[in-house]
Structure 1
Amino acid sequence: MALLVLKFGGTSVADLERIRNAALHVKREVEAGHACAVVVSAMAGQTNQLVGWVEEAWGYEERQQNGEDASAHYDGREYDAVVSSGEQVTSGLLAIVLQAMGVKARSWQGWQIPLRTDSAHRAARIIGIDVEELKGRLNGGEVAVVAGFQGIAPENRISTLGRGGSDTSAVALGAALQAERCDIYTDVDGVYTTDPKIVPRAHRLDRISYEEMLEMASLGAKVLQTRSVELAMQRGVRVLVRSSFDHPGYGGQPPEHGVEGLGTLVCHEDEIVEQNVVSGIAYARDEAKVTLLKIADKPGVAAQVFGPLASANINVDMIVQNVSEDGYTDLTFTVQGSDLDRALEVLRKAQDRIGYFDLRGSTDIAKVSAIGVGMRSHAGVAAQMFSALAEKGINIEAISTSEIKISVLIDAAYAELAVRTLHSLFGLDSRERP
């Protein structure tokens, strides 16, 4: 008997009909002889509604209009008490539906397991899970329906793991239970070589390494939360990304044997027989560019720029520095689009210390990335990529690389053309590889 963790996202439990469909997936695994722990998100849109109520109760808009940092004074403990209730509702409803289908089940909240976290409310990190009672119930044939996204912090206060935290809950539970697999049910049937809306010939990958999935998740692919992939890689939890709508009632019968064809398996690199040079093309439009002109070229100036940004919790990504002969340097870097206004304000306040001539910011950019573990053993990937973009008249404003990734910053107007160009260049338009 295999022990499986099944996780259903918000769109998969958006209403009672979809909760019943999720229950059918669970029942299928139970009838196959598997022990099942199920992790659920709140119904689609419910967390946003709960956050909206918190902000309304706090007078968020009024405080913003008065120039206050409206979110800084939230009582994070009470925020967590409110927003965690969405998962509590879903877990109870799914347990009831399973019971109605004749499946022995009960709901579990984070504090009941307990799933222990640190005290960083709204973005807590898991520090331990006690699964002894849970494991005993599972071995006795009972399905555990666990509220994702939540745990118990010191002083017995409910905590939440940050938006998208149910994926992390599921992977952490899979690691603690030593589950054979963690199946993430979502509204897509796996991880694709790129966005099919941009490239119709994009196809689903049968398998992808943890490292590739981590890069794709951090570079714009929204299939899995980055923290959950990091945890899966650290703890060796095999993750299967699959569609919650593959039940016959939704138009598709899943295969009877094995995981191939069910979705995309995220696993160790050595489980993948044939490595591709490039496995996928990711893109992100939520980037912003900041440029400081004519900074004195001297030791310590970079620290004067990036120190205040770090203190403001603003993450910096790609950095380009151009030094001129007159002793000045221009510095360009990227931040999340949502952080642009804050970044500019921080740098304006630090102008006297930095000593720049001008400060500019823009959001009309996009980041396009080629990702693949095969880059480690193949030379010339960057040259091919840059030549192909040049042939299409696409100018590269910045470049960043890792062992398995090459990212370029380009004008946003060329994002889709760049994605299509690179997808074809690296032989991803069909299952035949170059």
Structure 2
Amino acid sequence: MALYVYKFGGTSVGTPERIKAVAARIKTAHEAGDQIIVVVSAMSGETNRLVGLAKEMQLQPTDREMDVLLSTGEQVTISLLSMALHNLGCDACSYTGAQVKILTDSSHTKARIREIEDARIRADLDAGKVVVVAGFQGVDELGNITTLGRGGSDTTAVALAAALKADECLIYTDVDGVYTTDPRVVPKARRLDKITFEEMLEMASLGSKVLQIRSVEFAGKYNVALRVLSSFSEGNGTLITYEETEMERALISGIAFNRDEAKLTLTGVPDLPGVASKILGPIAAENIEVDMIVQNVGERGTTDFTFTVNRNDFLRAKAILEEVCANLGGKQVSADNSIVKVSIVGVGMRSHAGIASTMFKVLADEGINIQMISTSEIKISVVINEKYLELAVRALHTAFGLDKD
């Protein structure tokens, strides 16, 4: 008897009709003899509605109270899905994160899972029930409700699959798998049958919105076979697993991009040990994440220092950097929030030379200037002007043989 964890996102359970469709799918799988755990998100739009209500009460609600409020979205969905299953003659029982219980740390709005008590779930599964669990939420040691951050239902599903050693974790979304790049930018993008955890982690961190990064990290750490499928069409989706020899034939698996980038440069700062720490320390102190970093070779005792941040942090980071510039006796701060990051990802890079030179030549042939470069074992990222994003992605997609026939 196989054990599967199914996860359905907000659009998959966005209306009563869609919840009934999910129930019918689960009933069919259950009747085939499988043990089933279902993790669901709040109905589409519900979380935003709750956030809006909170802001009517208080401009900046406390994180604890936001967790109490937002966790109710999933509670509605689990009860409705359990009712729909009962109506089809399928025995089901719903649980909140606290009831399961999914024990987390106390970091409200971005909690991390520490432990899952699985006895209650196993008892229900052994009794032939479908177990329906609220995603996105847990409880800390003091009994406070916590949430895992946007997209946290993915992490809930993967964590349950790991804790109960499920045969597979199936993530149902509004797309039918992981694509070589965003089909809205490149119509010739192909759905991948398989992708490695490493590649998926890079794609997620670089801007692919298919899965929450933490869920992929969790799946890789505990070797949970992960499959992304569509709630609205049939198909095998994309299996995310460990590297296999057949995958070595593909040089590049996909192209990711991120529009939410901004670049800051501090010129003419003293070229002395510790200058990088003096520049980035105040940025980090304000909880602003830095992505790519370039420090130029020193000349005449000074150097230039460039880094990228999320666009939401751009103005705040710029103000901090201007203060740092004055303190260090730097020349000036220049800023640009009209950039994007484009990345090629593939485990095949490990065993093939010339990938970077091919990428750079393709961009040069299109007249696209590269402003920054970052590399790892399985990815190469470049920063370019935002207006060239679609041209760059399409050209690279074709050059690396990713276009579908």
Secondary structure of 1:44's counterpart equals: coil
1:82 aligns with: 69
In structure 2, the partner of 1:353 is 327
Number of the residue aligned with 1:294 = 268
Q: Shift of residue 271 of structure 1?
A: 7.4
Letter in 2 for 1:132: A
Alignment-derived partner of residue 17 in structure 1: 17
The answer for the alignment partner of 1:27 in structure 2 is: 27
Runs (4+) off by over 6 Å: none
Of 41-50 and 319-328, deviating more is 319-328
Correspondent of 2:255 among 260, 264, 281? 281
**Which residues in structure 2 correspond to 1:75-224 (within 5 Å)?**
75-224=62-211
Query: Unaligned stretches of 5+ in structure 2?
Result: none
Distance 2:313 2:99 in 1: 37
Equivalent residue number for residue 430 of structure 1: 404
Q: Deviations over 1:351-379 (max 9, x none)?
A: 34333221122211111000000000001
Q: Is 1:412 aligned to 2:399, yes or no?
A: no
State the shift of 1:272 in Å: 5.0
2:310 matched to 1:336? yes
Where 2:48 maps in the other structure, the secondary structure is helix
Compute the displacement of 1:297 (Å): 1.1
How far 1:207 sits from its partner (Å)? Answer: 0.4
- Cα deviation for residue 309 of structure 1 reads 1.1
Shifted more, 402-411 versus 324-333: the winner is 324-333
How many Å separate the matches in 2 of 1:180 and 1:272?
A: 22
Question: Does the 8 A contact of 1:207 with 1:272 survive in 2?
Answer: no
Q: Structure 2 CA distance, aligned partners of 1:25 and 1:419?
A: 37
Q: SS where residue 39 of structure 1 aligns?
A: strand
Contact 2:155 2:218 in 1 (8 A): yes
TM-score of the aligned structures, taking structure 1 as reference length: 0.91
Distance in structure 2 (CA, Å) of the matches to 1:414 and 1:114: 48
Task: Give TM-score, length-normalised by structure 2.
Answer: 0.97
User: Which residue, out of 372, 380, 403, partners 1:398?
Assistant: 372
> Is residue 248–residue 347 contact of structure 2 (8 Å, CA) maintained in 1?
no
Q: In the aligned structure 2, how far is the partner of 1:355 from the partner of 1:104?
A: 70
User: Retained in 2: the 8 A contact 1:40–1:146?
Assistant: yes
Aligned to 1:63: none
Match of residue 45 from structure 1: 45
Q: How many residues align?
A: 405
Q: Distance in 2 between matches of 1:264 and 1:25?
A: 19
Partner of 2:36: 36
Structure-2 separation of matches of 1:319 and 1:353: 21
Q: Report the CA distance between 1:57 and its aligned residue.
A: 1.3
How far is 1:146 from its partner?
0.4
Corresponding residue for 2:353? 379
Deviations 1:53-102 (A, max 9, x none): 222211x2xxxxxxxxxx4xx43221100011000001111111111111
**DSSP 3-state at the match of 2:188:** coil
Residue equivalent to 1:249:
none
Q: Give percent identity, aligned residues only.
A: 55
